[in-house]
Amino acid sequence: MGMAKDPFTAKLTCPGCGRTGEAYLLAADDLDHKTTVESVPEGFKVIEQPSDIGTVDLYCADCDLSALARGHG
């Protein structure tokens, strides 16, 4: 019954080791307000916390640092 979520990609770059990748996600909708992670490249992990992209953040599995590319500024 809910509206379809909009797919988008998030570019990942670890500030520690420089690992890069692209995650595929579905934007939060008006019903559940949660960002759905469709796929995350090897070497990254999903952390359930607010971030620039929604309700999750994506971390480097080795460095335990946020790998979301901050495109602001």
Q: Which is more confident, 42 or 5?
A: 42
Position 3 scores a pLDDT of 57
- What pLDDT digit, counting tens, does each position of 21-71 carry? 999 999 877 777 788 999 999 999 999 988 888 889 999 999 999 999 765
- Residue 13 token pair: 């770059």
57 with 68: CB under 8 angstroms? yes
Give the residue among 36, 40, 35 at the shortest CA–CA distance from 22: 40
- What pLDDT digit, counting tens, does each position of 8-17 carry? 999 999 999 9
Position 72 scores a pLDDT of 39
List of E strands, 27-72:
36-39, 44-47, 57-60
> CA-to-CA distance for 34 and 28, rounded, in angstroms?
5
Position 2 scores a pLDDT of 53
